[in-house]
Chain A
Amino acid sequence: MSEVIIELEELTREFVVRRKGDGRRRRRHTIAAVDAMSWSVRAGESVGYIGANGAGKSTTIKMLSGILVPTSGSVRTCGLEPVGQRRDLARRIGVVFGQRSQLWWDLPLEESFSILAAIHQLDPGRGKSRTDELVEQLEMGETLQTPVRQLSLGQRMRAEIAAALLHEPALLILDEPTIGLDVLSKARLREFLIHERTTHGTTLLLTTHDMGDIERLCDRVLVVDRGRLVYDGTLPGLAGTVGARRMLVVDLAAPAADLVDVPHTTHVASEADGLRQRLAFDAEQTTAAEVLAAVAERVEVRDLSIEEPDIEDVVRRIYQTQR
């Protein structure tokens, strides 16, 4: 059994908001952004932390990393109390907020790395070799001399992640790391994170709206809704519990009858006299390749696409089943 790296017990964070009530008085409302959450993550795990906007994801991350004080309950990260032992904790975790930058926008990228090495007081040799390693794996060699403000979004995000990993933290927390990235940048980033985890055993906690991130990177999913944990398990299990299924959309060479007899699928809809058909399937029972092969046996396929279940949709369904 590996050690516990994140531990939440009845963790609660309330915010007081003032809203216009009836008449002229402004009413104070207390809203629990995180509501008595208890869960833990073991060292080496890779966990996707998902939920709709405003579900409490960022609030949880801020409490894990010592930026926010909990209203009640307890949280320990790397065995430390995040607010009280913030400075010790900072040496052991790396955090990237997708919409925020920790780099120096007016300096060449390279300098941000050397400043961060000094900030974390890395041994000069170790700082250098770690920077070289990250630059090589994230393919940033050509952008090292570029001022940070001139980097593209994809380049900047890779740089942010390198910056968070420079001091070899045991825990990497990523808040929306792939937001706004193109397909290729996303794929490269995911490849890198997989590599980083296998070589350094880094624990990963990431929030995302992208199912692809979860599928590629996470072996466990936590779903949060209105500050409460509503699911803890694997991604296929999540899709299974709520019936969120993948969808194969095929364009056929000629109009055909509805494909109702493909194993492990449900025919959802046909368009243009059966030229385009939609088949839903459960990722636990079959694969896209098997479904496609079965379809190809029956009709000639000209084009295809696969629609992933939408995270927001999955979360909404969980919420509905709980009521």
Chain B
Amino acid sequence: MMADVLEVATGARPGGWAAPYKAVLASRIRAQRAYPAGFALDIVGSWLVGLTEFGELFVIFHNIGILGGLDFHAMLLLFGLSNLSWSIADMVVGHVDTLPTYVRAGTLDAFFLRPQPVLAQLVTSEFSLRRLARLTVGLVTMCVGLVINDVTWSVAVVGLLVLAIVFGTAIFAACFVAAASLQFFLINGAELTNTFTYGGSYASAQPAAIFPTPLKLVFGFLVPVAFTSYLPTLWILGLPGPSLLPTWLVWLLPVAAAWSWAMALLLWSWGCRHYQGGGG
């Protein structure tokens, strides 16, 4: 009886607010374990993609030595950080990019008929374990980068690494959500919205110093992927930033992540309204 009263008073429901998401995610992981052969192939494939990108980096630096003020060792750290954050974001929310598939299958309509926010349901509707492989490529490269460079270890460095991975992942995740939102307007527009996701990832792994001013503004502030890896790398290695992107900016990582999510959520609510308006 008391419990009933409390439930009404607080709006609490069995299992807490997270229970619905946990149930779906747990089932997704079980479903993936049911097909081990496909899973293994996916992992091999992900490794190959990661290694190819790494190979590209190696070839470039074999020929030029220094790019945008970063040498090969510094680039390892930059590449590792960028890859790690991006692949975590890809693992957790990467599937939102396939929004048109959800629309065609009617899954999105089913989300509208359930008592959770649609975006939260979409994000938690899948969890790609196979993308763990891609994550290890980033993790290993980052660790090698940290060892091979002359890093002066301190609490601040460790703190910044954590900050970079957590908020870097958040920034990339926001890119995925923004890309998904745009697909409400452009069904079959995945090619275009890939500029947000894969393009953002690629830009984040480049030393922003080589960009012309407009691109610096885009990747430094509008879609702030420079915050995910470039600025942290500069700070950890004690390097000065280019004009427009001074190294101290790195401590504004949470602000950059908040900005990214504000933009992503705004785009998402526009997209949803467009869909409910019958344009989807």
CB distance B116 to A87 under 8 Å?
A: yes
Interface hit among A102-110, A196-204, A229-237, A279-287? A102-110
Q: Are A83 and B116 in contact (CB under 8 A)?
A: no
Q: Does B110 contact A (CB under 8 A)?
A: yes
Question: Is B23 touching A106 in the complex (CB atoms < 8 A)?
Answer: no
The one of A15, A90, A101, A115 in contact with B24, judged by C-beta atoms closer than 8 angstroms, is A115
**Interface flags, B117-159, vs A, CB<8A=1, else 0:** 1000000000000000000000000000000000000000000
Complex interface: chain B residues within 8 A of A106 (CB): 31, 34
Find A13's partner among B14, B30, B278 (CB 8 Å cutoff).
B278
Q: Is the CB of B214 closer than 8 A to any CB of chain A?
A: no
Complex-state Cα separation, A115 to B116, whole angstroms: 13
Please report the C-alpha to C-alpha distance between residue A83 and residue B113 in the assembled complex, in whole angstroms.
11
Q: Taking the complex as formed, is A254 at the interface, i.e. its CB lies under 8 A from any CB of chain B?
A: no
Question: Of A91, A107, A118, A123, which contacts B22 at CB under 8 A?
Answer: A118
Q: Mark A161-188, 1 if CB is under 8 A from B, else 0.
A: 0000000000000000000000000000
Q: Using Cβ atoms and an 8 Å threshold, which residues of chain A touch B110?
A: 100-102
Contact assessment for B14 and A124 in the assembled complex, using a CB-CB cutoff below 8 Å: yes
- At the interface, yes or no: B27 with Cβ under 8 Å from chain A? yes
Is chain B's interface secondary structure helix, strand, loop, or mixed overall? Answer: helix
Do A121 and B105 form a contact, CB below 8 Å, given A13-B278, A67-B113, A90-B114?
Answer: no
Q: Which residues of B contact A123 (CB under 8 A)?
A: 14
A65 with B113, Cβ < 8 A, contacts A99-B106, A114-B23, A119-B20 known? yes
Q: Smallest Cβ distance from B72 to chain A, in angstroms?
A: 44
Does any Cβ of B come within 8 Å of A294's Cβ?
no
Contacts of A114 in B (CB 8 A): 23
A68 touching B20 by the CB < 8 A rule? Answer: no
Which residues of chain A come closer than 8 Å to B31, judged between CB atoms? Answer: 104, 106-107
Q: A69-B276, A123-B14 are in contact. Are A86 and B23 (CB under 8 A)?
A: no
Q: What range describes how many residues of A lie at the interface?
A: 20 to 34
Q: Known: A83-B276, A88-B115. Contact between A121 and B109, CB under 8 A?
A: no
The answer to whether A107 touches B112 (Cβ under 8 A) is: no
Selected contact of B106 from candidates A15, A97, A118, CB within 8 Å:
A97
Chain B residues closer than 8 Å to A69, beta-carbon distance: 273, 276-278
Chain B proximity of A180: nearest CB distance (Å): 16
Contact B113 A115 (CB under 8 A): no
Within 8 A of A (CB), among B8-41: 13-15, 19-20, 22-24, 27, 30-31, 34
A95, B114: Cα distance in complex, Å: 10
Return 8 A-B CB contacts under 8 Å, by A number: A83-B276, A87-B115, A87-B116, A90-B115, A95-B113, A107-B30, A119-B23, A121-B20
- Residues A104 and B109 in contact in the complex (CB < 8 Å), given A119-B114, A119-B116: no
Task: Tell me if A216 is interfacial: C-beta within 8 Å of chain B.
Answer: no
A120 at interface by CB-CB < 8 Å: yes
Q: A87-B115, A121-B19 are in contact. List 9 more A-B contacts (CB 8 A).
A: A66-B112, A67-B109, A69-B276, A90-B113, A100-B109, A100-B110, A111-B30, A114-B23, A118-B15
In the docked arrangement, what's the CA distance between A168 and B130, Å? 38
- Give the distance in Å from the alpha carbon of A97 to the alpha carbon of B112 in the complex: 13
Residues of chain A with a CB closer than 8 A to B27's CB: 104, 107, 111, 115
Least CB distance, A107 to chain B, in whole angstroms: 6
B74 → chain A closest CB, angstroms: 44
Q: How far is the CB of A28 from chain B (nearest CB, A)?
A: 13
Give every chain B residue within 8 A of A93 (Cβ-Cβ). 113
Q: How distant is the Cα of A90 from the Cα of B27 in the complex, in angstroms?
A: 22
Docked complex: A54-84 residues within 8 A CB-CB of B = 62, 65-69, 83
Report Cα–Cα, A107/B23, bound state, in Å. Answer: 13
Within 8 A of A (CB), among B87-125: 105-106, 109-110, 112-117
Is there an interface contact between B109 and A119, defined as CB atoms closer than 8 Å? no
A residues 88-142 in Cβ contact with B at 8 Å: 88, 90-91, 93, 95, 97, 99-102, 104, 106-107, 111, 114-115, 118-124
Task: Please give, as numbers and ranges, the residues of chain B lying within 8 Å of A86 by CB-CB distance.
Answer: 112
